Amino acid sequence: MQQELEVWKEQASHMWNVANDYLREVPPNQLYAAAAIAL
């Protein structure tokens, strides 16, 4: 169980880094449009 949790935390951390890189490269207006579509 503990090992699964570690793997999950690692994956979540990786996804967070990918998301941050993506957000840094995307212009805000495009981000708002994507958020509006998602909601």
Q: What pLDDT does residue 3 have?
A: 92
What is the residue type of 11? Q
Q: Which residue has the higher pLDDT, 23 or 6?
A: 6
Q: What range defines the domain where residue 26 resides? A: 1-38
Q: Is the per-residue pLDDT at 24 higher than 90? A: no
> Taking residues 9-31, what's their average pLDDT?
88
Q: Is the per-residue pLDDT at 13 higher than 90? A: yes
Taking a C-beta distance cutoff of 8 angstroms, is the pair 31, 23 a contact? yes
Number of domains in the chain: 1
What is the residue type of 37? I
Q: What pLDDT does residue 1 have?
A: 81
Whole-number average pLDDT of the chain: 88
Per-residue DSSP letter, 37: H
